[in-house]
């Protein structure tokens, strides 16, 4: 297993009133030249958790930080007009919290950050303050 010291949370940067199913995410990432979905986990609006990449395999989601991290993405992150917004549904929040708690057990020392919390990232991703998960 790789050393994991970081868990990075992302949004798909798609509008909350549009569906962006896991198949569309995969097509998008393959079109960018990735070998499948770059995140390890994808949480759709219905709260379903999709295992999109083995934890053993390095992801493609956070430049310079892929080697020792796990990437989680939730569907959404933009409001109806395309502006960055915390669009997590109650089901997504429940799933994300459960996932993070379980990853905490496997990787107790890993830091949980939002994509935008990494240095030099100019995006709003994941469009909410992940400090709400500090101390879980």
Q: Which stretch binds Zn ion (CB under 5 A): 6-14, 47-55, 82-90, 103-111?
A: 6-14
123 is catalytic: yes
Does 37 interact with Zn ion (rule: CB under 5 A)? no
Residue found under tokens 């569907």? 75
Nearer to Zn ion, 21 or 84 (CB): 84
Is residue 3 packed enough to be buried (19+ CB in 10 Å), middle (13-18) or exposed (0-12)? exposed
Q: Which stretch binds Zn ion (CB under 5 A): 30-38, 78-86, 100-108, 111-119?
A: 111-119
Q: Which stretch binds Zn ion (CB under 5 A): 7-15, 16-24, 46-54, 96-104?
A: 7-15
Does 50 interact with Zn ion (rule: CB under 5 A)? no
Report the Cα 88 to chain-centroid distance in Å. Answer: 12
115 is catalytic: yes
Does 116 interact with Zn ion (rule: CB under 5 A)? no
Whose CA is closest to 15, among 87, 71, 109?
87
Rounded CA separation 115/62 (Å): 7
Whose CA is closest to 125, among 11, 8, 6, 7?
11
Residues in contact with Zn ion by CB under 5 A are: 10, 115, 125
């Amino acid at each position: 297993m790789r050393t994991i010291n970081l868990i990075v949370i992302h949004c798909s940067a798609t509008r909350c009133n549009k569906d962006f199913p896991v198949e569309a995410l995969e097509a998008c990432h393959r079109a960018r030249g990735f070998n499948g979905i770059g995140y390890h986990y994808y949480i759709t609006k219905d709260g379903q958790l999709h295992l999109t990449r083995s934890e053993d395999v390095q992801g493609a989601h956070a430049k310079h930080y892929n080697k020792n991290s796990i990437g989680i993405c939730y569907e959404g992150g933009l409001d109806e007009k395309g502006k960055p917004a915390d669009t997590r549904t109650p089901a997504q929040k429940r799933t994300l919290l459960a996932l993070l708690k379980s990853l905490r057990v496997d990787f107790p020392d890993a830091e949980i950050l939002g994509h935008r919390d990494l240095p030099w990232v100019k995006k709003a991703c994941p469009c909410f303050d992940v400090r709400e998960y500090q101390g879980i």
